[in-house]
Structure 1
Amino acid sequence: MTDFLLELRCEEIPARMQLKASEDLARLFTEELARAGLKPAAIDSFVTPRRLALVARGLPLETAAVSEEHKGPRTSAPPQALEGFLRKTGLTQDQLEDRDGVWFAVVNKPGRATMDVLAQTVPAVIRAFPWPKAMRWGVASQTTESLRWVRPLQGIVAILGEQLVDIVVEDVRSGYATLGHRFHHPGAITIGGADDYVEKLRACHVIVSHQERQAIIAAKAAQAAAAHGYTVIEDKGLVAENAGLTEWPVPLLGDFDPAFLEVPPEVIQLTLRINQKYFVLRDAAGKLAPAFICTANIEAKDGGAAIVAGNRKVLAARLSDARFFWEQDRKTALADHAQKLARITFHEKLGTVADKVERVAKLARWLVEEGIVKGADADLAEQAARLAKADLVTEMVGEFPELQGVMGGYYARAEGLPDAVADAIRDHYKPVGQGDDVPTAPVTVAVSLADKLDTLVGFFSWGLLPTGSKDPFALRRAALGVIQLILENRVRTSLNGVSYGHAMTVMRQLTSESLTHWQGVLLNYDELPIEKKIQLNEKLSGENPETWAGFEIPPNIAHAMVTFFADRLKVQQREAGVRHDLIDAVFALGGEDDLVRLLARVHALQSFVATDDGANLLAGYKRAANILKKEAVDPAIVPAAPSEPAEAALLAALDAAEPLAARAVTDERFADAMAALATLRAPIDAFFESVTVNDADPAKRAARLALLDRVRAAVHGVADFSKITG
């Protein structure tokens, strides 16, 4: 057994591609070896800005002989099929085996030298490498058959044990030599094999392990910060990015003018992180410190003083720009900024951002006035909604789109607007994903709900729905945000009422009668000439979906929205440990679109079916339901009075349990409703043990079927047990 070293050296690989490229190299190499019957004991992967490398450990010097069996066409197949099979296997017909009318080929492959296998494997891996972006270069780039690589490939090291594997890819030939650090050791290094690769490069100021470079950056950055009484704001992504930019990382601490701290801290953090790749620091009080840590790729003779000075100068220019944007934006009131939103298209079919703001403002007010969002001031909710998107046209958000909403909150506060308005502007995009904070301030909840509902209704009305993994308008995220807002704040209302009725009313000001039948029309009705309004109303009076003036009128928007919310709810609750079939069981009742009540019912149901009473009641229900599928009660037959004790006992139990369960459901005491149903367990068991449902007497059979129908109806008052798979 021996080890194999492969290094592919090129010009700088983008930091964001490095870790995935390292994984791809190991995967492709392993797959190619497996096709030849080789399996390394382990693979160690390495990546730096200038090289991809791996060490395959425990390779045999030769592959084992293998026997491969291939199934071919039937013996009665046309000659062309047989000829193709023979070409594929390289055999003649007399070497095939006839097994029950089907040709089989057994191909015996002798063992091969691992050196020969590697000489074929490495070029195949290089040519098949899945770079997200790649390039061709030099004279060879004139043909599309030439090699594509992320940056021009400059060198290949391929050593099995101590022997060089001779490989040529384009005009690059393998050898024992590689290069060290670009500045500390620019000359060639001779590699003896896999065993000395890591340490020999380390001696030449190259740390080939990405993970080790990350650990060095995190540790030394923390040390440098601590020496000045600061702490580093944790940022694992930035640590990985800096590790991808350096082969010999040296964290250095610098500072900037504290006067820049008058700019909102989020702006400074983004300037440092996004523009400069610097780490952000906090002081002992937990506030943003006027300092940063940059990561050099060299051990400077002056200890990094010149590097820090250069970075400080660049950062000062960046922060000066940020301060200028901050000062300029505040010279204009948010309401005046909002006037410019009419110039920004929200979507070609949904109008401008100003149109959206108008809809959201009216819907936010409606949510408060109807008491759906409690504790909010309707005027403040509408004011916040009208200003929520105003920062989209500011200089600061133009520079840092990530700060939309955040900057609006700062500008509102600086303008002296109420805190509730400023907070709502800042947080109305939340929650933007799992784990994000869910707003609870009433005004913010109203604006956030209105914004997300407006987006969902608009895109659904045009049929612009998510498909598979594609969700270009982030509608799944918006729906999940609505669900989280409703559950966190216990917003008690029907989704159908909010998003399909009133939301659509304020969206396009169509007549309520038209909206009842045509939820999907999205037209600026007020701006239409009178003759077009007449034509539109005539179109809307029909029963079938139609297309008018290029505007599609899709059917069943409400149904599609409810289904979409149900799917998102199942995903969210499944991640929280709730069974999706129990959600189906409650949804199947129909009319249950109050999410707070729905989930309370689901949680009670999940607890109930986990008990013995619940499991046995479910079994009894399914037995009754199966009988009712096969046997229908004839209404012409007068049911007989109970003739068996178990029959009478079940009837009495139903008489007692049904009203108790119904009252508990009405009062939203779902655990009590389940407890009432649990009293049916023993009578149902006794009924099936001692009573023959399909009695020869039609009157007795009708009575017993009617009794089972009451059992099913009583259970359905809580949930549709037929949807429960357990």
Structure 2
Amino acid sequence: MTTKNLLVELFVEELPPKALKKLGEAFASVLADSLKSQGLAATDAVVTHFASPRRLGVHVTTVAAQAADKAVSAKLMPVTVGLNAQGEATPALLKKLASLGADASAVAGLKRAMDGKAEALFFESMVTGITLRDGLQKALEESLAKLPIPKVMTYQLDASSGCELPGWSSVSFVRPAHGLVALHGADVVPIQILGLKAGNATTGHRFESKVSPVVIADADSYANTLREQGAVIASFAERRADIVRQLAAAAAKVGNGAHAIEDEALLDEVTALVERPNVLVCSFEYQFLEVPQECLILTMKANQKYFPLLDAAGRLTNQFLVVSNISPEDTSAVIGGNERVVRPRLADAKFFFDQDRKKTLESRVEGLGKVVYHNKLGTQGERSERVRAIATAIAALLGQGGYANTGALSAQADTAARLAKTDLVTDMVGEFPELQGIMGGYYARHDGLGDDIAFAIEDHYKPRFAGDDLPRNDAGLVVALADKLETLVGMFGIGNLPTGDKDPFALRRHALGVIRMLVEKDLPLDLLTLLQSAVPAFGDRITDATPALADFIYDRLAGSLREQGYSAQEVDAVLALRPQRLGDIPKRLLAVRAFAELPESAALAAANKRIGNILKKADDVDAHVSPVLLVESAEKNLFDAMKTVLPVAQARWEAGDYTASLQSLAELRTPVDVFFEDVMVNAEQLDLRLNRLGLLKSLHVAMNRVADLSKLAS
């Protein structure tokens, strides 16, 4: 069977840039998978997707004009239903055969085979392979139906445009479609979609195409023809790589270690806005650099899709890079236009910054009482008071644990917590909500509050995302913990929990933030005590949901640990004990991993599981052993071994050397094995039975201080 390469392109009006990458990938993968499932494309066919602002395309290698015929075996019915006592076809069988396009002559050729406990009749036939025209039509319809379209448009299609739809018809798609190309080699595949008939011509760059329309000779010449004649780089990946190369080259020409800011999302969005990128260097007045660089960077990126230039030290320069969609010989007009456009944006940022500094953060505290936080939890002002109360409680707990001076830490944390949300009522944060916290830090320094308070205000939202830095000082750490706990305890307390992929208050992210601070800073705080310390700040506004919140945090912790490379067994073994000091968990995990590598671990884990099952069936076993009731040599030997090993394991556990503590238990393997071989635990004599259960209880407690070793049993 001869095969050719296939090219399909749908030409549309400008697609939503933030969705273009996913649209291109989905269009290609669904269409190619459909062709493969229909037998038209080889399973190892190479699929290349194209996506530009005005087109979605796919190139598939080794596509057949018609799929191969294939044998099909259709189950009809049980033999007892299809044939009567004389072996003749029943009306039910004849009706079933007729539905498959066969008649009574096919009865003799029916196959009999067991289907479960009964013998059934099967009709075997050869099905003619689907043609590329029909198969591609089906694949294209399926591909468009499954596109991850953020929002569908409905538009009118005129019959005079060449479509076969009568009169005016409504068509729904992400954007109005204007052209369809479908080439199998050099041959047009006569399909249609969205009122468009397939051809071999498309449209190039809106301004710089050499010809219009651009005729595609065959499937393999699509990308080159569009590039050479249509001035379009059809491949999203190639266009993106070209932008990266041009950004680096333009920055290098500026010199002095200048480099474009790195932002993958911005890069993807800009790639989706241009068909043939041309990077240009622009600049703005030095006076705007008096504004915090975070403000200028955000306004250039978010509003204008520019790439700010940083110097070798990471400071913002007065130059930026523009990715233009045109390449005129004289670029001065393009550069001048972009500089004129950005200037009012930067002027606005400077105005907001200057105006905000006319009022102190302290003077804005009262304004928080006018900003609603949640209808059940009150205003931002009330929320700030709760954060202050929780921060004070956390500082006291840290002081009790010897982590910090309670008085000094409490005073700093209280000041930072009182002012942390005040930048929400500033003009700058009103315009750019992403700058909350950051602007509070700048305004705190302007108010003369010093770096410690400024850092705490700026950092109290941290960590904002996975991999983000933790707060830089203890006051920031306390306020960040208090802020996240206020959200978690409050939302759980009113029953506002995340469901599925919906988490409007980012409770999952807040839980991971709490986990990271407790673990990475190894804070001397018990989780339940910490959660309960936040509840009184809410008064009677909430119900205490500490148990449910603790479960939620441990679930997030388990997922995080597995993502870090720990096995499910290791995580389950450690978290089964619900360790309250989360900072201990990494040490426990490493201890479990080291223990699992010992030759004795499997036997001890299995024994631990067995002991646990035995104790579950007993009532309130006391971990007490009376030596005079040890009558079997095996139980005496185990008891003697425990007297030697367990104190060592206990001392190492108390010293925090969890690895050595677990490894000490390896010496118990042989006496434990012999005990279970030679001793009947549930002896008929009550005092012997209780003593043996007490022996096992003592062993079980000692074995499971670091982790539940039974979770390691296969």
Q: TM-score, normalised by structure 2?
A: 0.87
* Structure 2 CA distance for aligned equivalents of residues 362 and 386 of structure 1: 10
Structure 2 residue aligned with 1:28: 30
Structure 2 residue aligned with 1:292: 320
Tell me if the contact between 1:89 and 1:107 (Cα under 8 Å) persists in the aligned partners. no
- Given the alignment of the two structures, is residue 611 of structure 1 paired with residue 571 of structure 2, yes or no? no
Matches within 5 A, 1:265-664: 265-302=293-330, 304-370=331-397, 371=399, 374-375=404-405, 376-500=408-532, 502-508=533-539, 521-522=540-541, 553=543, 557-589=545-577, 592-626=579-613, 641-664=629-652
- Given the alignment of the two structures, is residue 198 of structure 1 paired with residue 217 of structure 2, yes or no? no
User: In terms of mean alpha carbon deviation, does 208-217 or 27-36 score higher?
Assistant: 27-36
Tell me if the contact between 1:440 and 1:488 (Cα under 8 Å) persists in the aligned partners. no
**What is the total number of aligned residue pairs between the two structures?**
679
Match of 2:19 among 17, 20, 23: 17
Measured at CA, do residues 107 and 325 of structure 1 come closer, stay the same or move farther in structure 2, by a change above 3 Å?
A: farther
Measured at CA, do residues 504 and 82 of structure 1 come closer, stay the same or move farther in structure 2, by a change above 3 Å?
A: farther
Tell me if the contact between 1:73 and 1:81 (Cα under 8 Å) persists in the aligned partners. no
Structure 2 residue aligned with 1:207: 233
Tell me if the contact between 1:639 and 1:700 (Cα under 8 Å) persists in the aligned partners. no
Report the Cα offset of residue 366 of structure 1.
2.3
- Given the alignment of the two structures, is residue 109 of structure 1 paired with residue 146 of structure 2, yes or no? no
Q: Which amino acid aligns with 2:531?
A: S
* Structure 2 CA distance for aligned equivalents of residues 88 and 306 of structure 1: 71
Report the Cα offset of residue 394 of structure 1.
1.1
* Structure 2 CA distance for aligned equivalents of residues 601 and 275 of structure 1: 48
Match of 1:171 among 188, 195, 206: 195
Measured at CA, do residues 357 and 51 of structure 1 come closer, stay the same or move farther in structure 2, by a change above 3 Å?
A: same
Report the Cα offset of residue 634 of structure 1.
11
Tell me if the contact between 1:179 and 1:187 (Cα under 8 Å) persists in the aligned partners. yes
Local SS of the residue matching 2:175? coil
* Structure 2 CA distance for aligned equivalents of residues 699 and 378 of structure 1: 56
User: In terms of mean alpha carbon deviation, does 440-449 or 232-241 score higher?
Assistant: 232-241
Tell me if the contact between 2:471 and 2:477 (Cα under 8 Å) persists in the aligned partners. yes
Note the alpha carbon deviations across 1:3-37, whole angstroms, 9 max, x for none: 12211111111222222111111222123323432
Report the Cα offset of residue 44 of structure 1.
1.6
User: In terms of mean alpha carbon deviation, does 367-376 or 204-213 score higher?
Assistant: 367-376
Structure 2 residue aligned with 1:534: none
Tell me if the contact between 2:112 and 2:120 (Cα under 8 Å) persists in the aligned partners. yes
Local SS of the residue matching 1:612? coil
Note the alpha carbon deviations across 1:359-381, whole angstroms, 9 max, x for none: 00111122223416625532221
Tell me if the contact between 2:77 and 2:120 (Cα under 8 Å) persists in the aligned partners. yes
Report the Cα offset of residue 311 of structure 1.
0.3
Match of 2:155 among 123, 137, 144: 137
User: In terms of mean alpha carbon deviation, does 484-493 or 356-365 score higher?
Assistant: 484-493
Measured at CA, do residues 285 and 684 of structure 1 come closer, stay the same or move farther in structure 2, by a change above 3 Å?
A: closer
Tell me if the contact between 1:640 and 1:702 (Cα under 8 Å) persists in the aligned partners. no
Measured at CA, do residues 237 and 696 of structure 1 come closer, stay the same or move farther in structure 2, by a change above 3 Å?
A: closer
Measured at CA, do residues 145 and 666 of structure 1 come closer, stay the same or move farther in structure 2, by a change above 3 Å?
A: farther
User: In terms of mean alpha carbon deviation, does 644-653 or 484-493 score higher?
Assistant: 644-653
Q: Which amino acid aligns with 1:380?
A: Q
Local SS of the residue matching 1:2? strand
* Structure 1 CA distance for aligned equivalents of residues 268 and 125 of structure 2: 48
Match of 1:57 among 57, 61, 64: 61
- Given the alignment of the two structures, is residue 251 of structure 1 paired with residue 251 of structure 2, yes or no? no
Local SS of the residue matching 2:535? helix
Structure 2 residue aligned with 1:48: 52
Tell me if the contact between 1:388 and 1:428 (Cα under 8 Å) persists in the aligned partners. yes
Tell me if the contact between 2:519 and 2:585 (Cα under 8 Å) persists in the aligned partners. no
Q: Which amino acid aligns with 1:401?
A: P
Structure 1 residue aligned with 2:70: 66
User: In terms of mean alpha carbon deviation, does 485-494 or 71-80 score higher?
Assistant: 71-80
Tell me if the contact between 1:72 and 1:85 (Cα under 8 Å) persists in the aligned partners. yes
Local SS of the residue matching 2:173? coil
Report the Cα offset of residue 421 of structure 1.
0.9
Measured at CA, do residues 385 and 86 of structure 1 come closer, stay the same or move farther in structure 2, by a change above 3 Å?
A: farther
* Structure 2 CA distance for aligned equivalents of residues 54 and 589 of structure 1: 53
Tell me if the contact between 1:658 and 1:714 (Cα under 8 Å) persists in the aligned partners. yes
Tell me if the contact between 2:519 and 2:584 (Cα under 8 Å) persists in the aligned partners. no
Measured at CA, do residues 708 and 10 of structure 1 come closer, stay the same or move farther in structure 2, by a change above 3 Å?
A: same
* Structure 1 CA distance for aligned equivalents of residues 65 and 10 of structure 2: 23
Percent of matched pairs sharing the same residue: 38
Report the Cα offset of residue 423 of structure 1.
0.5
Structure 2 residue aligned with 1:224: 250
Q: Which amino acid aligns with 2:470?
A: V
Q: Which amino acid aligns with 1:407?
A: M
Measured at CA, do residues 716 and 87 of structure 1 come closer, stay the same or move farther in structure 2, by a change above 3 Å?
A: farther
Local SS of the residue matching 2:463? coil
Report the Cα offset of residue 434 of structure 1.
1.9
Local SS of the residue matching 1:137? strand
Tell me if the contact between 2:621 and 2:694 (Cα under 8 Å) persists in the aligned partners. no
Q: Which amino acid aligns with 1:439?
A: P
Report the Cα offset of residue 196 of structure 1.
1.8
* Structure 2 CA distance for aligned equivalents of residues 597 and 421 of structure 1: 30
Note the alpha carbon deviations across 1:668-724, whole angstroms, 9 max, x for none: 332343244333223223434555656787776665454334322332344433344
Note the alpha carbon deviations across 1:99-130, whole angstroms, 9 max, x for none: 43545444531134434433554355445544
* Structure 1 CA distance for aligned equivalents of residues 706 and 518 of structure 2: 22
User: In terms of mean alpha carbon deviation, does 39-48 or 655-664 score higher?
Assistant: 655-664
Measured at CA, do residues 444 and 126 of structure 1 come closer, stay the same or move farther in structure 2, by a change above 3 Å?
A: closer
Tell me if the contact between 1:452 and 1:478 (Cα under 8 Å) persists in the aligned partners. yes
Q: TM-score, normalised by structure 1?
A: 0.86
Measured at CA, do residues 104 and 157 of structure 1 come closer, stay the same or move farther in structure 2, by a change above 3 Å?
A: same
Tell me if the contact between 1:43 and 1:57 (Cα under 8 Å) persists in the aligned partners. yes
Q: Which amino acid aligns with 2:302?
A: I
Report the Cα offset of residue 356 of structure 1.
0.8
* Structure 1 CA distance for aligned equivalents of residues 536 and 166 of structure 2: 60
* Structure 1 CA distance for aligned equivalents of residues 444 and 93 of structure 2: 79
Report the Cα offset of residue 470 of structure 1.
2.6
Match of 1:182 among 185, 191, 206: 206
Structure 1 residue aligned with 2:162: none
* Structure 1 CA distance for aligned equivalents of residues 621 and 409 of structure 2: 59
Measured at CA, do residues 628 and 433 of structure 1 come closer, stay the same or move farther in structure 2, by a change above 3 Å?
A: same
* Structure 2 CA distance for aligned equivalents of residues 724 and 623 of structure 1: 12
Tell me if the contact between 1:640 and 1:699 (Cα under 8 Å) persists in the aligned partners. no
Local SS of the residue matching 1:148? strand
Report the Cα offset of residue 53 of structure 1.
1.3
Tell me if the contact between 1:650 and 1:684 (Cα under 8 Å) persists in the aligned partners. yes
Gaps of 5+ in 1: 509-520, 524-552
* Structure 2 CA distance for aligned equivalents of residues 327 and 82 of structure 1: 88
User: In terms of mean alpha carbon deviation, does 579-588 or 348-357 score higher?
Assistant: 579-588
Note the alpha carbon deviations across 1:609-644, whole angstroms, 9 max, x for none: 332233332233334445556788999x99964444
Note the alpha carbon deviations across 1:34-86, whole angstroms, 9 max, x for none: 34322242222111111111122111232100123344666788999989977
